[in-house]
Chains A and B, each alone.
Chain A
């Protein structure tokens, strides 16, 4: 295990974020940081999700 507190972020590729956004991550608790990087790794690995709006009510709209 690395002593570097930002290691989980690096693993998830989040260390490449712009300075301001990285600063946000640095203000997370260690537990949150671990969660964020784990989720990011999973998002990176998952197939893209279907995007869009959700109004489907009318059979023609």
Chain B
């Protein structure tokens, strides 16, 4: 079959060496999210379109990672079609649940409005019935339940109550059960972690730490006026020593803005010193985004952030803290907002497709797709604002149509594009430096570097 060099890959500018004769370049194949190490002649052949200069063995590997594709393939159409069918795939059902409308933190950048009180007993039962109906569908193979907030641990009793039924029925139906929690971490302790991991089968905790203690506690103050950094860190550190929790992952996310960026190196050094360089820990940095319509100005800010971020990632690398250098899994579905079988049920009972909507006063009033109290709710949520996202990409309504990272990024955040914000992930701007870090992981350094 005739073949061509495709369009979805990035070649490292640098040639890397181990100082003992190995010379390689990196090729990051975005359709399969794979990093390949090739001799510079292959990188050169890819760059100049000389497929015949590549050996059959390397060509086969490039075919596997979809750098080399059938000659008649329309790659954009192929990428979008895969995403469209993944977005419609009924074998995975995803519920993002807010067990309460309250949060015990008052973070400066949060747009939610928090009121006390969990789901009413009636709402709780309706949520339970709705999730279980989806789990029991003959098409369902995988059920993913995400506990989300506000602060989900303010509704710990609700989580326990609902999760026990979700887990039981998933087991009965032979459905794979996956559960994650996004929490500020301040209410976690060894007792509830034991229950969450073992009974509720939460396998991943996304916890936000916005810097070293003084900075985090100012960025993310407790509404009571108290501090949370050391409580969170001590709890997770102790959990990491528990061999029963090896399969649970703790992701530390840091929201970076102008007020905490100078303290990030201090935070990284502290976390390394505290022993968080463990296989079931991940560190993640993310910019807090400004709002506005002038995307070119934001693009510059994105580039500026990416450059700074690279310095922090380098520091993490030096300290052995685990972080993702480049995505290793293609982003078949951009986010819950484009997936027909994913929905978020707010603490108010409103149903949304986008996780940015619940508890934001205007969105609660205007963007709800339904309410858990309705008797006529369809099995899967009604259509939402972002369901046509892949058509929008195809029509060129964002920059994603021509972007080499579309298969690993999916367009990042449809809501941001609709609002005139530019949501490109940092690796769009700092992929070259990230590839340096991927090579460094294997003890390889750029030729010419000291």
Please pick, from B39, B279, B331, B444, the residue contacting A55 in the complex, using a CB distance under 8 A: B331
Residues A50 and B22 in contact in the complex (CB < 8 Å), given A43-B442, A55-B413, A59-B288: no
Please pick, from A26, A32, A46, A57, the residue contacting B442 in the complex, using a CB distance under 8 A: A46
Total interface residues in chain B, CB < 8 Å: 59
- B23 / chain A contacts, CB cutoff of 8 Å: 35
Whether A57 and B286, one on each chain, are in contact in the complex, defined by CB atoms closer than 8 angstroms, is yes
Whether B327 and A54, one on each chain, are in contact in the complex, defined by CB atoms closer than 8 angstroms, is yes
Whether A50 and B441, one on each chain, are in contact in the complex, defined by CB atoms closer than 8 angstroms, is no
- B39 / chain A contacts, CB cutoff of 8 Å: 29, 31-32, 35
Contact segment of B227-235, B317-325, B392-400: B317-325
Minimal beta-carbon separation of B352 from chain A (angstroms): 12
User: CB of A1 within 8 A of chain B?
Assistant: no
User: CB of B91 within 8 A of chain A?
Assistant: no
Total interface residues in chain A, CB < 8 Å: 31
Whether A54 and B326, one on each chain, are in contact in the complex, defined by CB atoms closer than 8 angstroms, is yes
Whether A39 and B443, one on each chain, are in contact in the complex, defined by CB atoms closer than 8 angstroms, is no
Contact segment of B53-61, B124-132, B382-390: B53-61
- A18 / chain B contacts, CB cutoff of 8 Å: none
Number of A-B contacts (CB under 8 A): 124
User: CB of B409 within 8 A of chain A?
Assistant: yes
The residue among B330, B423, B424 with the most chain A CB atoms within 10 A of its own CB is B423
Whether B327 and A58, one on each chain, are in contact in the complex, defined by CB atoms closer than 8 angstroms, is no
Minimal beta-carbon separation of B441 from chain A (angstroms): 5
Whether B55 and A55, one on each chain, are in contact in the complex, defined by CB atoms closer than 8 angstroms, is no
- A53 / chain B contacts, CB cutoff of 8 Å: 33, 327, 329-331, 408
Chain A, 26-41, contact with B by CB distance < 8 Å: what is the 0/1 string? Answer: 1111011011101100
Whether A39 and B335, one on each chain, are in contact in the complex, defined by CB atoms closer than 8 angstroms, is no
Nearest to A37 among chain B residues (CB) is B22
Whether B413 and A60, one on each chain, are in contact in the complex, defined by CB atoms closer than 8 angstroms, is no
Whether B57 and A28, one on each chain, are in contact in the complex, defined by CB atoms closer than 8 angstroms, is yes
User: CB of B255 within 8 A of chain A?
Assistant: yes
Nearest to B444 among chain A residues (CB) is A42
- A61 / chain B contacts, CB cutoff of 8 Å: 335, 355-356, 413
User: CB of B289 within 8 A of chain A?
Assistant: yes
Please pick, from A32, A42, A43, A56, the residue contacting B58 in the complex, using a CB distance under 8 A: A32
Whether B24 and A52, one on each chain, are in contact in the complex, defined by CB atoms closer than 8 angstroms, is no
User: CB of B299 within 8 A of chain A?
Assistant: no
The residue among B286, B415, B427, B444 with the most chain A CB atoms within 10 A of its own CB is B286
Please pick, from A26, A43, A58, the residue contacting B355 in the complex, using a CB distance under 8 A: A58
- A25 / chain B contacts, CB cutoff of 8 Å: 57
Report how far A54 CA is from B407 CA in the complex, Å. 11
Minimal beta-carbon separation of A54 from chain B (angstroms): 4
- A4 / chain B contacts, CB cutoff of 8 Å: none
Minimal beta-carbon separation of B356 from chain A (angstroms): 6
User: CB of A19 within 8 A of chain B?
Assistant: no
Whether A35 and B22, one on each chain, are in contact in the complex, defined by CB atoms closer than 8 angstroms, is yes
User: CB of B182 within 8 A of chain A?
Assistant: yes
Chain B, 146-172, contact with A by CB distance < 8 Å: what is the 0/1 string? Answer: 001000000000000000000000000
Chain A to chain B: the 9 pairs with minimum beta-carbon distance, closest first: A27-B57, A54-B327, A28-B57, A42-B442, A27-B56, A57-B423, A50-B324, A51-B328, A56-B286
